[in-house]
Structure 1
Amino acid sequence: MGVAQRSRRWLVPVATVAVVAGVGALGPVVADASPKLPTITAQDLLAKVQTAKVDGLSGTVHSSTDLGLPAIPGMDGADGMQGASQVLALINGDHTARVAFASPDKAKVSILDAQAERLWTSDGTSAWAYDSSKREATKLTLPAHSKAKPEKTLPQSYDPQAVAKQILTAIDPTTKVQVSGTEKVAGRDAYKLRLVPKTDKSTVGSVTLAIDSKTWVPLDVTVMPRTGNDPAVELGFTSVSFDVPSASSFTFTPPKGVKVTDEKVPSKAERPHSIPQRPGNPSLIKPTKPGTANAGKPTVIGTGWDSVAMIRGAQTGGLTGGPLGQLLAKAPSVQGSWGTGKIVTSKMISALITDDGRVFVGLVTPDTLQAAAAKAPR
């Protein structure tokens, strides 16, 4: 199946980025930069990335996110808002994580921030979620003979390979794709695969993936906004080894005094997710059929980079007070054939909150957002 024939998907930018669509212009590569690597076409590089497979890896990942989100006054001190403040901290700023993977069912992510640790690990039979700041841990017993893969039971926000593959499975002719050179990432030679939207309606200027020249595993993902010279998102390895980690790397023993909660993961048919994801974890969501919209589930309007997600049943009345209410009070009021509401914008994300309880969000310009709202089913 050709690249342009792959099923199209929409990535919701909850924490980092992700409306991505398209390969059309697969130009030849001019790899005339250090390090010196054999010339490869974008089409061939895409094929290698899609089929890349390693038995294990371990390393340190650094993420830097600046979506230009507006500050919410009083967030840190407001009653009940500490959790929201922590979410904002996770989806903005710099973070470091240690990651490990061993085929077929072992994975570990340990996020280190402000002298605290948040850890997720799975040894194939059980999984642990641990927060040192709260001194709490949850042990999840996985179903017997579970075939769940680590990427379905652990946060993917710190896995450049998972994020890159989500992006690449969503490309179609609305994107120019080319190999723009080579670079060193975590001491390894890599090709730079650059994706550029062919529309001026998106706030995304480009997405560049650094692809390891030996394993074909993505080592770094960089998202540039349409305006400005600083990355909106950069996620990549600062060190990496492709040796298979030992089984003991995935075991966890709670420190003394930590509160432990035991839970059993229900069968796949009974659950939408295996383990709560890291707040702000980018998630791959298939679009619903046109004209359908269930409360809390997104309906996609538009295609490719111009895609906008609509969620019905938002409790906008609950946003009238507190810090979020203060933010919306300062947001511009807008109106159109779709109705009236408030619009919040940043250099990457635009959100429209309508008075009738709908929320529209996308990596698009405010005008594009309102145009999508006008086309949305009531």
Structure 2
Amino acid sequence: MAPYETDDSAKAGEPDDVRAGRRKASRYVVPVTVVGVAAATIGLVPAFAGSGDPDLPKISAQELVEKIAASDVQQVSGTVKISTDLGLPDLGGLESSLGGAGKPSGSDGGSSADPSSKLLELATGTHTVRVAADGPDKQKLSLLDKASEYSVIHNGDDVWAYDSQSNEVFHSTGAGEAKDHKSGKAAPEDVPATPQKLAEEALKAVDDTTSVTVDGTAQVAGRDAYKLLIKPKASGSTVGAISIAVDSKTGLPLKFTLTPASGGAAVVDAGFTQVDFGKPSASTFDFTPPKGAKVTEGDKAEARGHHDSAAPSGEHFGKDAGKGLEGGGLGKEMEGGGLKTIGEGWNSIAEFDTGGQGVPSGAATGNSDVDGFLSSLGDKVSGKFGSGTVFKTRLINVLITDNGKAYAGAVTKDALVKAANAAK
């Protein structure tokens, strides 16, 4: 059966134009990243807060996916609330134990305003993000804190980032080249901090292992919306469901919520609390470094080894974290790097060699904080493959065997052990 499970789903013998629409829509679907997924996921707000369910015309799942694919919103501004609940333990003093704390800003030649590191803050806790866009060449994203503000502005070929707390500026050029995939750089619209970007990534995983249905309506940020529900058909995945609220008029995703199969709070949720489709003021995208601010040029930072540091891009939050678990994409993109895929769809598992000798245990690291952190994450397991440790979050689990093999995916611990046994 096709993944779109409604009475209006496409049947055999459908017209060519319908099949073409399905192929177009299939470009948008949900990869779940593997190693380092914490850098890519964004968390929890009360699901679909609003003032009742609006009465909207009936729409099929296929039509709603195509509505998202056809959405061409060029001008938008608003506020997005984002949080994360991966179930990770408190890092406590781990950073200082590893020697990372206490460094003065920029002491390693970098900049506190560098988006490649600053935007990782979105991977934990609750945040408020202000966004604005006026076409493909003008975007702004501002991460608001109680006492400071961090902004990334894309205006033409320039990308500026400013950290008000440290009064540092990061500047890069060549954002236009990134659009043609000629550069490692990208602009704020590539950051997975909005329901739209998360939904586009999510829709990339829809295949025959996926159920896609319309789950009623909702009102988000004062807008009437349809709810698209995406769920793995088979058991074994840690992903329970993904719910996307889609604006009924524009097709723009307004809210994205990923709940785990284990239940409880959402792992990933990002939703507009305010949205406006009017043209933002041109001054929104203007930026001049404040007087006295330290300015770091991106090209110079890269020359010191900070490659792609100008890019607050999906590549930092997904590609470098491991590829999507969507069957074809993961295998094709990762096998060249010594990685291969076991299984398909939502139960896909990435197998690779860490190049090491397994995970240090006890006092092997010589650092009690590090050992305690590893112990809090890991469960010792054994099987035909030998023995190893499973590191777990509420979404991604990774088995590292004592001989250095690794198995990672949005699957249960038992599924990882079974994969390791089969691969032995």
TM-based fold match above 0.5: yes
Structure 2, unaligned stretches of length 5 or more?
1-19, 43-51, 104-116
The structure 2 residue matched to 1:249, chosen from 259, 264, 284, is 284
Whether the 8 Å CA contact 1:334–1:341 is kept in 2: the answer is yes
1:351: how far off? 1.8
Residue among 372, 376, 381 paired with 1:326: 372
Candidates 51, 68, 77, aligned match of 1:58 = 77
Q: 1:231 to 1:342 in 2, by over 3 A?
A: same
- Of the structure 1 ranges 184-193 and 358-367, higher mean CA displacement relative to structure 2 is found in 358-367
Show the counterpart of 1:27. none
Q: Return closer, same or farther for 1:291/1:135 CA change in 2, 3 Å cut-off.
A: closer
Aligned to 1:125: 157
Q: Which of 294, 309, 328 is the equivalent residue of 2:350?
A: 309
- Maintained 8 Å contact 1:11/1:17: no
Deviates more, 1:227-236 or 1:206-215: 227-236
Secondary structure at the residue paired with 1:352? Answer: strand
Contact 1:293 1:312 in 2 (8 A): no
1:275 correspondence with 2:307: no
The Cα shift of 1:87 comes to 8.4
Report 1:3-18 matches (<5 A). 3=22, 6=26, 10-12=31-33, 14-15=37-38, 16-17=40-41
Equivalent in the alignment of 1:24: none
Q: Write the distance in 1 (CA, Å) between the matches of 2:348 and 2:127.
A: 29
Tell me what 2:127 maps to: 95
Match of residue 30 from structure 1? none
- Which amino acid counterpart does residue 168 of structure 2 have in structure 1? E
Q: Is the 8 A contact 2:83 2:127 kept in 1?
A: yes
Displacement after TM superposition at 1:40 (Å): 0.8
Confirm or deny that 1:222 pairs with 2:257: yes
Q: 1:75 aligns with which of 91, 94, 107?
A: 94
Q: Which amino acid aligns with 1:124?
A: G
Match of 2:236 in 1: 201
Structure 1 residues 172, 68: closer, same or farther in 2, change over 3 A? same
How many Å separate the matches in 1 of 2:234 and 2:171?
46
Cross-structure match for 1:292: 335
Q: Which deviates more, 4-13 or 206-215? A: 4-13
In structure 2, the partner of 1:367 is 414
Is there any run of 5+ residues in structure 1 with no aligned partner, and where?
A: 19-32
Kindly indicate whether the alpha-carbon contact (under 8 Å) linking 1:87 and 1:279 is maintained by their aligned counterparts in 2: no
Amino acid at match of 1:44: E
| Amino acid aligned to 1:304 | G
- Following TM superposition, by how much is the alpha carbon of 1:234 offset from its aligned partner in structure 2, in angstroms? 0.9
Between the aligned partners of 2:121 and 2:228, the Cα distance in structure 1 is 29
Provide the residue aligned with 1:23 in structure 2: none
Cα shift readout 1:300-336 (whole Å, capped 9, x = no counterpart): 3322111223443366789635434322245322233
More deviation in 229-238 or 180-189? 229-238
Q: For 2:281 and 2:120, locate their aligned partners in 1 and report how far apart those are by CA, in whole Å.
A: 35
State the Cα deviation string for residues 31-57 of structure 1 (Å, max 9, x = none): xx7211111111111111111111211
Letter in 2 for 1:12: T
Letter in 2 for 1:153: A
| 8 Å Cα contact 1:12/1:309 also seen in 2 | no
SS class of match (1:48): helix
CA contact (8 A) 2:240 2:263 kept: no
Give 3-state SS (helix, strand or coil) of 2:407's partner.
strand
CA distance in 1 between partners of 2:262 and 2:151 (Å): 35
Provide the C-alpha distance between the structure 2 equivalents of 1:245 and 1:314, rounded to a whole number of angstroms. Answer: 50
| Alignment-mate amino acid for residue 271 of structure 2 | G
Distance 2:296 2:309 in 1: 18
Residues 221 and 321 (structure 1), Cα distance of their counterparts in 2 relative to 1, 3 Å cut: farther
Q: Which string of whole-angstrom CA distances, capped at 9 and with x for unpartnered residues, describes residues 94-113 of structure 1?
A: 11111111212211111113
Match of 1:59, SS state, is strand
Is the contact between residue 204 and residue 225 of structure 1 (CA under 8 Å) also seen in structure 2?
A: yes
Give the aligned partner of residue 355 of structure 1.
402
**Percent identity at matched positions?**
39
Change in 2 beyond 3 A, CA 1:184/1:316: farther
> Hey, what does 1:25 align to over in structure 2?
none
Q: Report which stretch shifted further, 121-130 or 277-286.
A: 277-286
How many matched pairs? Answer: 356
Change in Cα spacing, 1:257 to 1:367, as seen in structure 2 (3 Å) is same
- Give, in whole Å, the separation in 2 of the partners of 1:279 and 1:145: 15
Distance 1:276 1:241, change over 3 A: closer
TM superposition shift of 1:140: 0.5
Q: Deviations over 1:130-162 (max 9, x none)?
A: 23333322110217777459x942352212111
Alpha carbon RMSD of aligned pairs, Å?
Answer: 3.5
